[in-house]
Structure formats: structure tokens, C-alpha cells
Chain A
Amino acid sequence: MEHVAEGTVESPLLDIPVGKFGMWVFLISEIMFFTGLIGSYIVLRLGSTGWPQPRTILNTPLLGLNTVVLLSSSLTMVLALAAAQQDRQRALQRYLLLTALLGLTFLGIKGYDYVHMWHRGFTISSSLFGSCYYLLTGFHALHVLSGVILLLYLFTAASRGLFSAANYGRIEYSGLYWHFIDIVWVMLFAILCLV
């Protein structure tokens, strides 16, 4: 996200960079979007009888592994930010690439999980649970995918030496997005895939 250089901004509401403010406003609408999805899931579930136990259908250990993968990518993301703040260019590139690869791993496992489930007859149209599962995790996966693309872009930018200890804003704001995706998964994992 680039923004017009404004010189000194003397009366902003919040004492944070414009890009960071914008990213938070974007995340507000993302939170509401997932509120719509997760809220619908909660209402549909509480309003229906005979909801199956997720662990009898889903591959719980695999999903747990995937959670660990995504949490690890959050760690590498903050380490990338720390590297940028300390001007350690090689480490920055390494961590960005690692984060993107972990995101891809998550998507790979997700894809395997989808195919596997689908073949066992658990599809988006087989039951209300199936519909909720594929809708919610599907939208989350789309967010991961766009995050991976963002990270690969950041990686190429970092390879060209565009970031430094004085200029790491875009790493920070992208990190906010990436961690937000992580939080969404943490919630989905617990209340959709386990409970």
C-alpha cells in the first residue's frame, strides 16, 4: 500500500503511520466479514438438531498439524519484521520466503484434506456441517492464498533491498494481515473443527 507523501501530518487521530491505520481499517471489515460467516455458522448449528461430532468426520490430527504450520508461519513473519528492523537483509529474505512456504504448506495440506474428505462423501452439499466446513475454511484458505501472494511480492521487494531499519512499514502491515488470518484459523479450528 503506497500513499502520497504528505510531509508532516500535524493533526491525525491516531499517532500511527497512514499505512498502518489503513490496514487496521481493512482488518475491521475483515473481522466483520468473518463475523458474518462464523455468526451464521453458530446460529445454524444451534438452530439445528443432530449436528455430528466433528472428530467422527474430520481428520483431527491432520488439522492439528496444519494449525501448527500456520502458527509457525506467524512466528517466521514476526521474525522477518524483527530482521527488517535490525537491517539484517539476508535474514529478512529468508524469513519472508519461509513464511510464504509455510503458507503454501498449509494450503497443500488443506487441499489434501479437501480431496480426502470429498472422496469419503463429506462434501459441501452433503450436510449443513459440510456446507459450513467448506464455506468457512474455503474463505479462510482464499485469504491464506492472497497472503502468500503478498508475501512472495514482499520477498522479491526484499531481494531488491527495498526495506531497511528505517523503512519496514509494508512488512509490518502485511504482518498484521497475516496474523489476522492466523487468528481466524485459530477460532475456526477450535469452534468449527473440534467442538
Chain B
Amino acid sequence: MAHPPRSFWRRYVFSTNHKVIAVQYLLTGILFLAMGGLMALLIRWQLAYPWQPIPLVGKLLFPGSGGAVTPEAYPMLFTMHGGIMVFFAITPILLGAMGNYTIPLEVGARDMAFPRLNMLSYWLLFLGSMILLVSFFVPGGAAGFGWTIYAPLSSSTEVSPGWGQDLFILGLALDAVSILMGGLNYITTIMQLRAPGLTLRRLPLTLWGLFYSAVLNTLWLPIVAAALFMVLCDRRLGTAFFVAGPLAPHSGGQVLLYQHLFWGFGHPEVYILILPVWGLVGDLLSVFSRKPAFGYKATVVSMLTITILSGIVWGHHMFTSGMNPLVGKAFMILTITISVPTAIFFLNWLGTLWRGAIRLTVPMLFALGVVFVFAIGGLTGLFNALQVFDIYIHDTYFVVGHFHYTLAASVLFGAYAFIYYWFPKIFGRQMSPLLGRLHFGLSFLFLNAVFSGMFVVGLHGHMRRIADATTYEFLKPMQAWNVWIGWAALGLGLSQLLFFHNFVRSLLKGKTAPANPWQAGSLAWTVSSPPPEHNFEARPRVFCGPHEYGVPELTDGDWLSQTDPRAATLAKS
């Protein structure tokens, strides 16, 4: 029986234990989630009441302008909001924390395949996030070219001179390396370290989601890393890879090339974040319907199909870019084919609920929330795939609403489902279900109010990334909606306080959690909460899939653990 390292530093800070690293990721992610959320509130304030001083915090944040957002500060707000949310909030929570915590436990391993690489991965993320924070305080302020870093706005120092811009790219590059190292561990651990009997057909769906996500990262993140280095060269070494026209120092490169490289990664990124959520939802629906995941194989194959397709549809972000229109048509057709596998696993989710015995626990509520908001996000994606219509709504709030339904709402609910579900295992204490329900109800309400409002203003042509819609005559009728979205956003922000309260209070004095509070079948729930230093005293042996609920022959409960030898005769997976 291994003991944890004695010294504080080796045990809690520079630990190679996947569970400690997961908690480090989780706390970092939650911190940045709060920061990105506050930035969103500043953005919504500016849009609701343009150039008005911000109450309470305005004088502190923008002393130069009497507490109002300035035209120079506004791009920094939305750039940092996007960059922080995607790379330093959602990625650390869903890939960093969920991946690190669940993978070794669920495959029955003592740790990740490469624990030291794992530690390095977190600390690179930490370094990247510190660089990002420093960038706020350098002369010229933080980056303001949008989280998509479109060249040549990003790549020419004539139009974006500040060092904050370089630091943003550097921070992202470090985060990319960190994610790649994490992905290497996830892929290797899931594929090579599975316990005896844990065949690929018996993996929890969460792990499939994490695996596909890691594969996408491994394949496409390096492409954007290369592009980011080229942007840095353009900025500081006088090259012109992505600069053309009068700004270019010599004959110049190609502006569109950057967009291809960026979206070559950028579109898979959507799936990188959503695939683990889909997997988690598949598992949670099964656990809390007390019923095997319906069509497990079809779900796994659908997710694989989407993983493959996601790599070849990036062009639908570029219908107005001046890209060859025939290529655009090909991208449109490829894009709509994604709805086939999506529909299949959606139907499988419904099939899991069908004739189940549904328990509406807090993680289940959030999982159902994902189903609801992802239905909206997915279906509105179809509007964006239609070339002619997309050209009208491209770069408007319709697109913002769409990707917030998929990337913010679904992924956020997924992150909360993960936290509420795994909290007892991670910390050995239970969260308050009452506060959890309240948190879900309010979040659900306000979140839909915010993002559906974005559809409305977007359809009216409200461009994204503009600081003041009242500049335009045609947007005058939309101002009331901006006010509405602003207050709904504040409501959404305030309801997250319930979560923070619940999280901290449960951490300190929540009820002690049993080893398996949810009566779940997968391997992680066979060990104590929190698990021992190296998870399993002996290598577990697996006899069935993770979703053996509602087994008819059983009299002592309705489910089988994956380690239950009776599964050899009773289980069908």
C-alpha cells in the first residue's frame, strides 16, 4: 500500500498523482470561469448602456474614463473573455479535471501512463495562464484582436502594437503544449492501461468522449500551434506569412491561409469540448434512469463519425471570407451530414430514458439540461451551415448565440454535471442537493434568456464584437433587447454564486460521502471516497459493461458493478 509523499510541496503542489492534478485543474478552471464570466458581464453592461460608467466596480477597472468601458478596452474584454473561457476555463475543467480524475479510476489503473508528463502538463497551463494575466498590465493592455486571432489584425504590429497581444499568443501556445501532453496521456492510458476484462466495448461513454477529444487535440492543435508561431514571426521578426496588400513589407503572404489553419483546428475544437460532455451525458442518463445506455455501440460509432467529420468541415466558418465558393458548397454538404450521427446519439439518449426509472438528482438535471440546450445549439447550427443564410448572419449575434448554446451552455452544464456527480468521489463529501437544484433552475432560466436574446438581435443583423449598437440606425430597435440580455446575464452571473457557496460549504462541512453514492457501476465507484493514493490495491477484474442497471434477475438492488463476478452470467454487455 503506497503512501502519499510526506512533504507539502510534493503532495499538493508538484504532485504526479492524477487526482491531485485533477483538482489543480478544477480549481484553476473555476477561477478562470469566474473571471471570464465577469468579463462577459462588463461586455453586456457596455452593450446595454453604452459608455455609461459601470456601477460599483467601474472606477476601479477603468479609472481613466470615469468608470466606463473605452473603445480600446472593449476588444480586450471580448478577446480575453473568449480566450479565457475556451482555453483556461472549459478546457481545464472538462479535459484537465474530468480527464485526469476519471480516466485512471475508470480504467482501473494506478495512475496515468506518464505521471511526470501529466504534472508538467498542468504547470505549463499554469504558466500560460499567468502570462495571460500579466498581459493585462503591460503597456497597451491585453490582446484585442478577438480570440480567433485573425490575421492581419493580429499579425501586423502596425495595427496591433502592444506586447499584450504577443503574450496572449504565447499563453495560448503554452496551453496548446499542455493540452497535447494531457492528450498523449489520455490516449495512452485509455488504450493501453485498461484493466483485464475492460474491453473497448465496456468503456464508460465519458472515456470514449475524452478519448475522441484527445485524438482531435493531438491531430489538430499542432496545426494552430504552427499558425500561432507564424503570427508571432509576422509580428516580431518581420515576416509576412499572413500579411498582404499595402501593409505587407514585401510581396506578402496569404491572409486566407491563416483562417484555414485556424479553423482547421477551430472547428474540431468545438467537438474537443463537447465530446467529453456527450460521453458524460450518456453515462449519467444511464445511471439515473437505472437503465443500460441505449444503443451503446451506435453511440460510440456516431461519436467516432463526428470526430472524423469534424476535421473536414472547417470551411463553413469562411463562407464570406472570399474562399472559393465551390469549396464552400462542398463544406456545406459535409457539414450537414454531421446531423446523421448527431441524430442517432440523440435518439439513443431518448432511448435510454424510455421506460427507465428516472431519478432527478442534481447531476441528472444538468445532464438533461445539456440535452435541451444542445438540441437548440445543434439545430441552429443547421442555419449556419446554409451558405446563403449564413452569409447574412455571419459575424452577427446569431452565430454568437449558436456557439454559446453549444460551447457555453452545453459545455457549462456538462462541467457542472461533472462537478456535482464527481464531487463526492473527489472530496469525500456531498454537495447540497437543494442548492444544486436551485442553481440548476436559475441557471437554466437565465442562460436561455441570455442566449435566445442573442438569436433575436442576431437575426436583426446585430454584428458581434461591436461596442455600441446605437451607432447604427438599423439596430436602434434592438437596444431594448441588449438591455434585457444584460440583466439576464447579471441574473445568470448571480445564480453562479449559489454554486460557489455550495462548493465551498460542502468542501468544508458537507456530509461524508459513501464510496458509491449514486449506485453507479463503473470502476471508480468500487473504491473509497476519496480513493486511496494509488486507487486500487489490486488490479480489478472487469466482468461487464459500465451500465448494468435494472438487471431483472437481481433481488438485492437493481444493478451490477463492473467488478461483480455475477455479471458473467447475468449481464448482457
User: Residues of A with Cβ closer than 8 Å to B?
Assistant: 1-4, 6-14, 18, 21-22, 25-26, 28-30, 32-37, 40, 43-44, 47-48, 50, 123-128, 131, 135, 139
Q: Which residues of A contact B199 (CB under 8 A)?
A: 11
Residue of B117, B193, B196 contacting most chain A CB atoms (<10 Å)? B193
**With contact pairs A28-B218, A131-B233 given, residues A125 and B257 touching in the complex (Cβ less than 8 Å):** no
Across-interface contacts of B109 in A (CB, < 8 A): 4, 6
- Our pick among A12, A33, A123, A127 for the contact of B191 (Cβ within 8 Å) is A12
- The contact of A28 among B115, B117, B219, B261, by CB within 8 Å, is B219
Q: How far is the CB of B227 from chain A (nearest CB, A)?
A: 6
Interface size counted on chain B using CB atoms at 8 A: 52
B34 at the interface (CB under 8 A from A): no
Which residues of B are found within 8 Å of A11, using beta-carbon distances? 194-199
Q: How far is the CA of A2 from the CA of B111 in the complex (A)?
A: 12
Q: Is the CB of A25 within 8 A of B192?
A: no
**Which among B115, B195, B241 is the interface contact of A4 at CB below 8 angstroms?**
B115
Collect the chain B residues with CB atoms within 8 Å of residue A22's CB: 113-114, 184-185, 188
Please list 15 pairs of residues, one from A and one from B, whose beta carbons are closer than 8 Å in the complex, sorted by A's number. Answer: A4-B112, A4-B113, A12-B191, A13-B191, A22-B113, A29-B219, A29-B221, A32-B219, A35-B223, A36-B224, A37-B226, A125-B239, A125-B249, A128-B241, A135-B241
> How long is the Cα–Cα vector from A1 to B252 in the complex, in angstroms?
42
* Interface assignment of B238: CB less than 8 Å from any CB of chain A: yes
Instruction: Across the interface, name the chain B residue whose C-beta is closest to A6.
Output: B193
User: Are A125 and B196 within 8 A (Cβ)?
Assistant: no
Specify which chain B residues have a CB less than 8 angstroms from the CB of A26 in the assembled complex: 184
Which A residue's beta carbon lies closest to that of B185? A22
Q: Verify B223–A33 contact, CB threshold 8 A.
A: yes
A50 and B251 in contact, given A3-B114, A124-B237 (Cβ under 8 angstroms): yes
| Structural contact, A18 and B193, CB atoms closer than 8 A | yes
Shortest C-beta distance, A7 to chain B (Å), equals 6
Inter-subunit contact B192/A9 (CB<8 Å): yes
Contact with A along B194-225 (1 / 0, CB 8 A): 11111110000000000000000011111111
In the complex, what residues of B have CB within 8 A of residue A14's CB? 191-192
A25–B180 alpha-carbon span in the complex (Å): 10
Q: In whole angstroms, how far apart are the Cα atoms of A125 and B251 in the complex?
A: 11
Residue of A nearest to B249 (CB): A125
Query: For B194, B226, B249, which residue has the most chain A Cβ atoms within 10 angstroms?
Result: B226
Once A3-B114, A4-B110, A126-B250 are accepted as A-B contacts, the answer to whether A12 and B192 lie under 8 Å apart by CB is yes
Identity of the chain B residue whose Cβ is nearest the Cβ of A49 in the assembled complex? B251
Besides A12-B191, A21-B192, 20 other A-B contacts (C-beta < 8 A): A1-B114, A3-B114, A3-B115, A4-B109, A4-B110, A7-B539, A11-B194, A11-B195, A18-B188, A22-B114, A25-B184, A25-B218, A30-B222, A33-B226, A35-B222, A36-B226, A36-B261, A123-B238, A124-B233, A135-B241
> Which 10 residue pairs of A and B lie closest in terms of their CB atoms, listed nearest first?
A125-B238, A36-B226, A33-B222, A131-B239, A10-B196, A13-B191, A32-B222, A36-B223, A12-B192, A22-B188
**A124 touches which one: B112, B114, B218, B238 (CB < 8 A)?**
B238
Determine the chain B residues whose CB is within 8 A of the CB of A126 once the complex forms. 250
A32 engages B254 (CB within 8 Å): no
The interface residues of chain B lying within 8 Å CB-to-CB of A28 are 218-219
B116 at the interface (CB under 8 A from A): yes
Convert B236-262 into 0s and 1s, putting 1 for each residue whose CB lies closer than 8 angstroms to a CB of A.
011111000000011111100100010
Q: A12-B191, A28-B218, A128-B252 are in contact. Are A40 and B117 (CB under 8 A)?
A: no
Distance in angstroms from A43 CB to nearest chain B CB is 6
| Residues on A with beta carbons closer than 8 Å to the beta carbon of B224 | 36
Tell whether, in the assembled complex, residue A44 and residue B254 are in contact, meaning their CB atoms are under 8 Å apart: yes
Structural contact, B116 and A2, CB atoms closer than 8 A: yes
Closest chain B residue, CB of each to CB of A41 = B241
A123: B residues at CB distance < 8 A: 238
Q: Verify if B187 is at the interface (C-beta below 8 Å from A).
A: yes
Interchain CB contact under 8 A, A2 and B222: no
Closest A residue, CB atoms, query B260: A43
Check B153 for interface membership: any CB of A closer than 8 A.
Answer: no
B241 touches A48 (CB 8 A): no
- In the docked arrangement, what's the CA distance between A139 and B183, Å? 22
Q: How far apart are the CA atoms of A34 and B419 in the complex, in Å?
A: 37
Are B225 and A33 in contact, with the CB atoms below 8 A?
yes
Q: Does B375 sit within 8 A of A, measured CB to CB?
A: no
- Contacts A40-B257, A128-B253 given: A18-B238 contact, CB under 8 Å? no
**B187-A40 in contact (CB<8A):** no
Query: Known contacts A30-B222, A40-B261, A50-B251: does B191 contact A131 (CB below 8 Å)?
Result: no
* Nearest-neighbor residue (CB-CB) of A135 within chain B: B233
Minimum Cβ distance to chain B for residue A42 (Å):
10
Q: Is B344 an interface residue (CB 8 A)?
A: no
| Neighbouring B residues of A50 by C-beta, 8 Å | 251
Q: Which residues of B contact A12 (CB under 8 A)?
A: 191-194
Given A4-B110, A4-B115; A32-B220 close (CB under 8 Å): yes
Residues from chain A with a CB closer than 8 A to the CB of B111 are 4
Expressed in whole angstroms, the Cα–Cα distance for A11 and B183 within the complex equals 20
Residues of A within 8 A of B250 (CB): 125-128
| A40→B199 CA distance, assembly (Å) | 40
> Does chain A have a CB within 8 A of B336?
no
Interface residue B230 (Cβ < 8 Å from any Cβ of A): yes
Q: Which residue of chain A lies nearest to B111 when distances are taken between CB atoms in the complex?
A: A4
**A36 partner residues in chain B, CB cutoff 8 A:** 222-227, 261
Is B192 touching A127 in the complex (CB atoms < 8 A)? no
B240 touches A128 (CB 8 A): yes
What is the CA–CA distance of A127 and B109 in the complex, to the nearest angstrom? 53
Residues of B within 8 A of A34 (CB): 226
Q: Which of A8, A29, A44 contacts B241 (CB 8 A)?
A: A44
Cα–Cα distance between A126 and B233 once the two chains are bound (Å):
13
A23→B523 CA distance, assembly (Å): 28
Contacts of B117 in A (CB 8 A): 1
Task: Report the Cα distance A30→B197, complex, angstroms.
Answer: 33
Within 8 Å CB of B225, what residues of A? 33, 36
| Distance between B130 CB and nearest chain A CB, rounded to angstroms | 23
Most buried by A among B184, B185, B225, B238: B184
Q: Are B253 and A18 in contact (CB under 8 A)?
A: no
Which of chain B's residues have a CB closer than 8 A to the CB of A18? 113, 188, 192-193
In the bound complex, what is the Cα–Cα distance between A44 and B109 (angstroms)?
A: 47
Residues of chain B in range 327-342 having any CB-CB distance to chain A below 8 Å: none
Q: Within the complex, which residue of B110, B183, B223 is in contact with A6, where a contact is CB–CB below 8 Å?
A: B110
Chain B residues whose C-beta falls within 8 Å of the C-beta of A131 in the assembled complex: 233, 239-241, 253
User: In the assembled complex, how far is the CB of residue B180 from the closest CB belonging to chain A, in whole angstroms?
Assistant: 5
B233 & A25 in contact (Cβ 8 Å cutoff): no
User: In whole angstroms, what is the CA distance A22 to B223 when docked?
Assistant: 20
**CB–CB B237/A25 < 8 A:** no
Contact of B218 among A13, A32, A44 (CB under 8 A): A32
Q: How far is the CA of A36 from the CA of B241 in the complex (A)?
A: 13
Chain B nearest CB: distance from A53 CB in Å?
16
CB distance from B313 to the nearest CB of A (A): 17
**Bound form: Cα–Cα A1–B117 in Å:** 8
